[in-house]
Amino acid sequence: GSKQLFKIASLAPAGSVWTTQFENFAEEVREKTGGEVDFRIYPGGVMGDDIAMFRKMRVGQLHGGGFTMTGVASQVPDFRILGIPFLFHSYEEIDFVKKGLLPEFEKQFRDKGLELIAMTEVGFVYAMSTLPISDLETFKQSKNWAPTGDPVSEKFLQTLGITPIQLIIPDVLSSLQSGLVETVYNSFYGSIVLQWFTKTKYIVDLPYGYAYGVFVVSSQKFNKLTEKQKQVFLAAAHKHFPVLLKKTRQSNQESRLILKQRGGQFLTLDHGTIELLKEKRNETIKQLVPDAFSKSIQDHTFKLLEEFRKQ
């Protein structure tokens, strides 16, 4: 076939694990197709946020991207399901449920003209605050942040009686600085990369939720590849993206230690508070079906989770 150039954008900063590992993947595809399939990478959100990236994919300026869950859910709402607060206890659970849901996700993406190449992650996110939030009352009194355009976390906080302050990620640090928000949510690695940890000394040591994303390319562009090129493409993805997951988790683990060294205080919640939070979470889910995600994907997810926990 003719030469194919894939223009790929992402919000992940240049030089972060996400982009460097993606470059490894791109290099392998480039090499094994003899330069017939090439990539151009636009990191750091220079092509705009998820919505702008989708618009550009539609008109053919871009051919793929690393999207965040919140961004991609505007196209495939069911993809939100893993973002429910306090759903998972370990990465093993996540990997099991993800594997079970993947065929369904792939189908839903393909219906939208998108090829799901790999799922990526930020990891478990934790509530981090400038105030010692050790119970529900102190948590509610602090000024909470919610990312712009995420109905799940917004609804959950509202169920708890909190009106979150919606800010885009680049605005969070300066707002922590000025005290406009006090409690924010991020992974350990993310909190260091974005410098939020310089302000948030207190960390609630319970995974609040799971943040993840996806690497997709447009089906139209993907189908221009020959069968052999497609195989090379997918094989390289199969090889490099699991490494990315491993590296992300490793960075998070290392970051936890760094946060401790820098004087971060890890707080624990008592059993009663955790149960109450989960109760409120279940209440939230009822309100979210079917606008935010479908009943069938919810049932499927909970069944898989139950299956894993029985083992």
Partner 1 sequence: MNTLKLLILGLALLRSPLFLVIAALALLSFHGAGINISVVIIEMSRLADTPLLVSLPLFIFTGILLSESRAPARMLRFSQIFFGWLPGGLAVVSLLVCAIFTAFTGASGVTIFALGGLLLPALIQDGYKERFSMGLITSSGSLGLLFPPSLPLILYGVISESRIDHLFLAGILPGLLMIILLAGYAFRMSPPKAAGKSLTPKEMIAGIREICWELPLPFILIGGIYGGYLVPSEAAAVTALYVLVVELFIHRDVTVRQLPAIMSKSMVLFGGILVILAASMASTNYLIDQQIPSRIFSVIQAFISNKYMFLLLLNIFLLLVGAMLDIFSALVLIVPIILPIAQGYGIDPVHLGIVFLTNLQIGYCTPPVGLNLFLASYRFDRPVAELYRSTLPFLALLLITLGIITYLPWLSSVLIRYFG
Partner 2 sequence: MLSVMLVAVICLACTQIVLRTVFESGFVWLDPLLRYLVLWCGLLGAVTATAKGKHIALDLVGSRFPDRVAPFLSLVTHLFSCCASAGLTLAGWLFLRNEFEYGGTGPLTLPLWLWNTIFPFAFGLITVKYFLLIILQLKAISHLFTQRGGDRS
Binding partner selected for residue 166 from partner 1, partner 2, none, CB under the kind-specific 5 to 8 Å limit: partner 2
Q: In the complex with partner 2, which residue's Cβ is closer, 55 or 260?
A: 55
For residues 267 and 259, give the distance between their C-alpha atoms in angstroms, rounded to a whole number.
13
Q: Does 15 bind partner 1 (CB under 8 A)?
A: yes
Q: Does 261 bind partner 1 (CB under 8 A)?
A: no
For residues 77 and 291, give the distance between their C-alpha atoms in angstroms, rounded to a whole number.
8
Q: Does 274 bind partner 1 (CB under 8 A)?
A: no
Shortest CB 54 distance to partner 2, Å: 8
Residues that bind partner 2 (CB under 8 A): 51, 54-55, 58-59, 74, 154, 163-166
Q: Can you tell me which of 35, 60, 242, 272 binds partner 1, judged by CB under 8 A?
A: 60
Q: Does 2 bind partner 1 (CB under 8 A)?
A: no
Q: In the complex with partner 1, which residue's Cβ is closer, 158 or 166?
A: 166
User: Segment near partner 1 (CB under 8 A), from 46-54, 102-110, 266-274, 281-289?
Assistant: 46-54
Q: Can you tell me which of 1, 35, 132, 179 binds partner 1, judged by CB under 8 A?
A: 179
Please provide residue 132's backbone torsions phi and psi, each rounded to the nearest 5 degrees: -75, 100
Shortest CB 290 distance to partner 1, Å: 28
Q: Please give the structure tokens belonging to residue 163.
A: 């009106």
Q: Does 48 bind partner 1 (CB under 8 A)?
A: yes
Shortest CB 84 distance to partner 2, Å: 20
CB under 8 A, 24+ apart: contacts of 59-64: 61/7, 62/7, 62/8, 62/9, 63/5, 63/6, 63/7, 63/8, 63/217, 63/218, 63/221, 64/6, 64/7, 64/8, 64/9, 64/117, 64/215, 64/216, 64/217, 64/218, 64/221
According to DSSP, residue 13 is labeled: P
